[in-house]
Amino acid sequence: MADKKFLSKKYLFLFLILLFSLGLFGQEDKLKNEADKSVNTEVKKNYIIETEGKKTVFYQKLSWESVEGIMHFEFELEKKEKNGKWLIVNKKKLKKNSIEVSLPHGNYRYRIKVINLLGQVDAVSADRYFDILAAYQPETSSVSPDAIYFDEEYTNIISLTGKNFKEETAFTLQKEGSSPIEGKIVELSPDGTKAKISFNMLRISPGQYQVVVTDPSGLKDSKQTLVFRFQKPIDIYLSGGYAFTGFAGNQLFKQYLKKDFAALSGILRASFVPIKRSYGHFGFNITGSGMYLNNKEDVYTLSAGFILTGIQAVYVKPIIRRLLNFDAHVGLGAAFMVNTKFVFPELKSPSYWYWGPAINFGTALQVYAYKKLYFELNVDHIIPIRTGFPKYIIQPSLSVGWEF
């Protein structure tokens, strides 16, 4: 009986010891997990901001790979001078693989030398470059002009007033939904309060743009806006001049009129542009040209007037604003043979007229000579749809026009 009681107490004691050990291991794992969490959630920074009295100091932390079994590291820091040369500004012997430095703005580089236990240079790292930027908050107080009209004379230079304009400051025009348009500094006042910026106006479409001024540090200002628009609700181009007309596939013309071309023709064009877009204008034009055809044979004389008309959709693209336009047009029209008659020695035939629909398209260049006066070089292609008419007509022309 005594042996059974002794064995029971022995087993109870062993059970309590085992339970206590499991509790210790559990507590240890819990502490370890909490420690791991604290390590994983720690945010590592490569800079430190401290306050020394009333002054805030920025410290940059530089670090490199740790090496075991060495005497020390030798740290060398250089700054780039205005003349382009590098000057050593800091040189230290370090046991640890990092250093904290407080530097004024500029261009820097550093290298690390590994000194072995014999005091010899064992390895030298490559130069590592970094920049310290001075941050300035730019501000724009006015933009001149604040509106630009494409149909009037205008400059590609925008004047800004404000503060903290630097040579490194970026000036851009930003329209919602479009890529920013970068400007070039033309003139900058010594105190950084005035700037003249040149922009490529050929990339600008009508609308409102933000004038964005950005410091190299990333600070920016975009309070000011600039509006680009057309002032006139409609543009009208009216021109008239000389045309040369060539015929192809003209069996009846060849047989009776003996004509492959008409050297003397006149042309009138009127273009209306009520819708103005980014780099060009959409509208319509009306074209009319005419020529006199005559063929004198031994027994008869045949004469007729030949008129070509058309109404077309037109697209005008300013290649160089106020200097050169490109015009493309396509549409429908008609060809008319009017007052056609044979004249014999003893009688005259009645006058006849014929007509047929036509498809026409062409291109033109408009070169401005003085204000809104321009010269126009135009080439039209006409395809009449009627038996007996030429199958194809080409009509280059040179005209003088005015933009209303």
pLDDT digits (tens, 9 = 90+) for 28-39: 343 334 334 333
Buried/exposed 90-107: b ≥16 CB within 10 Å, e otherwise: eeeeeeeeebebeeeeee
Residue 267 has pLDDT above 50, yes or no: yes
pLDDT tens sequence across 132-165: 877 789 999 999 999 998 777 788 999 999 999 9
CB distance 162 to 193 below 8 Å: yes
CB distance 367 to 373 below 8 Å: no
H-type alpha helices, 176-292: 251-252
Give the DSSP H/E element, type plus range, for residue 30.
helix 2-40
Confidence of residue 9 (pLDDT cuts 50, 70, 90): very low
Q: How far apart are CA 115 and CA 92, in angstroms?
A: 12
Of residues 230 and 391, more confidence is placed in 391
DSSP 340-370: EEEE-SS-BPPPEEEEEEEEEEEEEEEEEEE
Q: What percent of the chain has pLDDT over 90?
A: 58
Domains located in the chain, CATH noted: 47-132 (2.60.40.10), 139-229 (2.60.40.10), 235-403 (2.40.160.20)
Question: Would you mind telling me the total number of residues written for the chain in this entry?
Answer: 404
Average pLDDT over the chain, rounded to an integer: 84
pLDDT computed for residue 52 by the predictor: 54
Residue 5 has pLDDT above 50, yes or no: no
Cα atoms in the 13 Å half-sphere on the side-chain side of 298: 0
Confidence of residue 25 (pLDDT cuts 50, 70, 90): very low
- The sign one gets for the Cα dihedral 197, 200, 202, 203 is negative
H-type alpha helices, 211-335: 251-252
Confidence of residue 271 (pLDDT cuts 50, 70, 90): very high
Give which of 147, 201, 212 is closest to 176, Cα–Cα. Answer: 212
Q: Which residues pair with 317 in a beta bridge?
A: 326
CB distance 360 to 343 below 8 Å: no
Biggest CA pair distance of the chain: 166
What is the mean pLDDT of the segment spanning 207-217?
91
pLDDT computed for residue 131 by the predictor: 84
pLDDT computed for residue 313 by the predictor: 96
pLDDT tens sequence across 326-379: 999 999 999 999 999 989 888 888 989 999 999 999 999 999 999 899 999 999
Q: How far apart are CA 160 and CA 337, in angstroms?
A: 64
Strands of 106-180, DSSP E: 106-115, 121-124, 128-132, 139-144, 147-149, 157-163, 170-174
What are phi and psi for residue 138, nearest 5 degrees? Answer: -75, 150
Rg of the chain (C-alpha set): 43
pLDDT computed for residue 46 by the predictor: 52
